[in-house]
Amino acid sequence: MDDIAAWFAGRLPSEWFTGAPEVTVDREEIVVVGRLEAPDVAAGASEGAAAAAAAGRATRFREETREQRIRIAREGEELFDRKIAWGVDCGDTRALFTTVAVPVMTRLRQPERRTLDTLVEAGIARSRSEALAWSVRLVAQHEGDWIEQLRSSLVAVREARAAGPSV
């Protein structure tokens, strides 16, 4: 993971972001999110105006850097054998571009299926798949600290395995 983040930090044009990009990696995808300088808005502008200006800055970045991002993504995909997605943070706005939606197979018993079907019937989701994705986002939102603690523990396990004897 550190090698991937370092590669992007060295490969990306220095004028794109205000600092090193945030690089998130899983088995299928690498998401690179950089911070853009927030646009100037009139003194006393509403939060909505600031958000609109930030969204406009993100859209401009996406359009102006498209060809370069595609070239860099192709290099990274070949090097790391994962899809590359992009995003920016600007002010309080996060915009992600071209992220990957990966199908996940799961087996559910009737009580879990009924829960998903209730969400669909209530109009919360259009399908069982969307209801399951909604549920996962809800867990991440409400149990974020616990999920982060698990991720940190997994990093320690990987480091311990790497330091152990080779088989």
Q: For residues 74 and 27, state if they share a domain.
A: yes
Maximal CA-CA distance, the chain: 64
- The token pair at 85 is 């997605």
What total of structural domains would you count in the chain? 2
Q: For residues 121 and 76, state if they share a domain.
A: no
Report the alpha-carbon distance of residue 17 to residue 89 in Å, rounded: 9
* In the predicted structure, residue 86 carries a pLDDT above the cut 90: yes
Q: For residues 15 and 90, state if they share a domain.
A: yes
Which residues in 96-132 are b (16+ Cβ under 10 Å) and which e?
ebeeeeeeeeeeeeeeeeeebeebbeeeebeebeebb
**Residues 78-90: what's their mean pLDDT?**
95
Q: For residues 87 and 141, state if they share a domain.
A: no
Q: For residues 91 and 117, state if they share a domain.
A: no
Instruction: Decide if 103 is inside a domain.
Output: no
Residue that is last in its domain, among 97, 118, 150: 97
Note the helical H segments in the chain: 2-11, 47-80, 110-121, 128-142, 144-163
CA proximity to 50, closest of 58, 41, 37: 41
- Among 28-42, 66-80, 91-105, 146-160, the range with the most confident prediction by mean pLDDT is 66-80
Tens digit of each residue's pLDDT (9 = 90 or more) over 143-152 = 888 888 998 8
Tens digit of each residue's pLDDT (9 = 90 or more) over 18-50 = 999 999 999 899 999 999 998 888 887 788 888
The range of the structural domain enclosing residue 119 comes to 110-163
Q: For residues 10 and 86, state if they share a domain.
A: yes
Q: For residues 55 and 92, state if they share a domain.
A: yes
Note the pLDDT of residue 1: 67
